[in-house]
Amino acid sequence: MISHTRFLLCSVAAASLTAMVQPASAAPWQRGFVVATYEYAFRYGGRAGFERAGDIEPGSDCLHGSSVHFANDKNTEAALKQPFRSKYEIEAISRPPGLEQVKAPVLTRFHIWNRAITYRAWKRGIETYVNPWAAEDPGQPEVTGKIATGFNLDGNSNTGGFVSEDGERGIDNALYRAWGCDAPWRGNGNATLHLRANDKMQGGLYTMVIRVSGNKDPMNDDNAIVEIGYSPDKITKNARGDVAADYSYRIVKSEQYTKLKARVRNGVVETEQVEELHAPRIAWFYDHAGDADFRKGKIRLEIAPDGNAKGLIGGYRDWRKLYTENTFAQDGGQQGIREHEDGVALYYALKRNADGMADSKTGEKMGISSTYRITAMPAYVVDSAKPLGVTIIQAEEKRKDAFLAIREATIKSTKTRIVQGVPPGTTQGAFPALERNIQDLPSKEFFLKVLDRPHYPGEAMEIEGERFNLKSGDELPAKPEPSKPAASDKQVRNETASAKVADAR
């Protein structure tokens, strides 16, 4: 990237100001931007300055509060009421016996909870993030407010159920209704996952650029062009750690790229609505970075006098892709426990609120209206002398392949209602992290026996004393229902009691 002087930018600004005062002449113009922040356009209805220890302000849009799944042992216990679990098994998972004796109690409990909540279907052995429909809906608090940021995507002021901040009816942003009260996506500029995604983007994970051009007045042009896409050049920051202005970025036109017709009125850029709008998607790891692929998409961009910009990108996104991008960034259980969200609940919320992209055969809505919010700094968006593609990090490709495989398995599962296994290469169910990290737990044998885990073709495994050598294409043997837990329960209780007596001595 090449740094340009402020003199050049000021000259351009002065020329634009002159054009505003004098009659505009037809002359080519161009403005470029590098996206500095990129997040779901969720509102935050909380009171300014709200502070109360241990509480999250529900806000006027989330009267039922924010998600608190797996925030503590009681919440975790409530999620484990499957018919195949005994009362003691549920209690032992929620509060593992002997936990106080291990070197890393928080991490040990984290792995146990992860493994348990990954298997919550109607029977043992079904992984419930790949097969979320096989588990009961845990319930997701949804937005109850009527104001939302977004577009009227379907052109009908009687649908959508939201009104914009400036009074426009029929705003379609069903993703906000479904996920707007999910704790890690909720905040006034400081939501956990928004911060994480922006930090990773600004740190070099990916770069998104926008270029606006025309042939009339840059502030008023009814025949402008907007290009949005990926850049292989990492974002440059200034000495304060903020995204710097006036640097050059190349734009990739082969993928994650869209060119749209637009109209500029008083500095506000409104694009046409296109069948497919491709751009980089929100991501915080390389494995789930990629194409946001909006349907019926459009862009609005407001350019400030100082050259900075803010705007919205909206359209319908495949809600199953949204589900997998959030759930499998690492693994479903880890995401749920760490962020206090439940991927299964988010799945049902998306399915409930889907409002677009109807399947031609079944009529099922495959898309959910979504709006993303951006801020951008002035930059020089340039064409490369040779064709460019999205940057490939070879060291991360296996992890990306694993993500794509689990996304494919999940979409197949939700379409067919046929249970799918966990593809190899993922970390679903904290496997094998749990096996490595509970070695000093007195009750480890109990958990290794009662907790399911992923199994893979080609893996030699043992179930109830019988050894299976699986080949590709073989069906996994069903895990037998455990006998009444009295014996193993007593064993765990005795081991824990003995350990406490030994400590007392």
pLDDT at 461: 45
Mean pLDDT is lowest, of 250-264, 296-310, 447-461, 475-489, for 475-489
pTM of the model: 0.85
| Confidence (pLDDT) at 456 | 78
**Looking at the predicted structure, is the pLDDT value of residue 64 above 90?**
no
pLDDT of residue 53: 52
Share of the chain above pLDDT 90, in %: 75
Q: What is the pLDDT of residues 291-336, one digit of tens each?
A: 999 999 999 999 998 999 999 999 999 999 999 999 999 899 999 9
Examine the pLDDT at 483 and tell me if it is beyond 50: no
Helical segments of 22-64, H only: none
pLDDT surpasses 80 at 501: no
**Please, which pLDDT band fits residue 223 given cuts at 50, 70 and 90?**
very high
Question: 269 or 9: which carries more pLDDT confidence?
Answer: 269
**pLDDT value, residue 455:** 84
Question: What is the pLDDT at residue 25?
Answer: 57
Q: Specify the pLDDT at position 141.
A: 94
Angle formed at CA 85 by CA 82 and CA 89, multiple of 5 degrees: 130
What pLDDT digit, counting tens, does each position of 66-111 carry?
899 999 999 999 999 999 999 999 999 999 999 999 999 999 999 9
pLDDT of residue 459: 64
For the chain, how far is it from start to end, CA to CA, in angstroms? 68
Can you give the pLDDT at residue 189?
A: 74
Q: State yes or no: pLDDT of 421 exceeds 90.
A: yes
Longest dimension (CA), the chain: 93
Residue 264 has pLDDT above 80, yes or no: yes
- The alpha carbon dihedral of 73, 75, 76, 81 has a sign of positive
Give the pLDDT score at 40. 96
Arithmetic mean of pLDDT over the chain: 86
The CB-side HSE value for 68 (13 A sphere, CA atoms) comes to 14
Q: Does the pLDDT value for residue 267 go beyond 70?
A: yes
Is 448:435 a contact under the CB 8 Å cutoff? Answer: yes
pLDDT of res. 473: 37
pLDDT of residue 396: 94
Q: What pLDDT does 352 receive?
A: 97
Mean pLDDT in residue range 245-265: 97
Helix H or strand E encompassing 177: helix 174-179
> For residue 495, what pLDDT band results from cuts at 50, 70 and 90?
very low
Average pLDDT rounded to a whole number, residues 201-219: 96
Alpha helix positions (H), 22-164: 73-78, 87-94, 105-117
% the chain with pLDDT above 70 = 83
Band (pLDDT 50/70/90 cuts) for residue 22 is very low
Q: Kindly list the distances between the CA atom of residue 59 and the CA atoms of 64, 321, 345, in Å, as whole numbers in the listed order.
A: 9, 28, 21
Supply the pLDDT for residue 55: 53
User: 323-348 as b/e, with b when 16 or more CB fall inside 10 Å?
Assistant: bbbbbbbbbbbbbbbebbbbbbbbbb
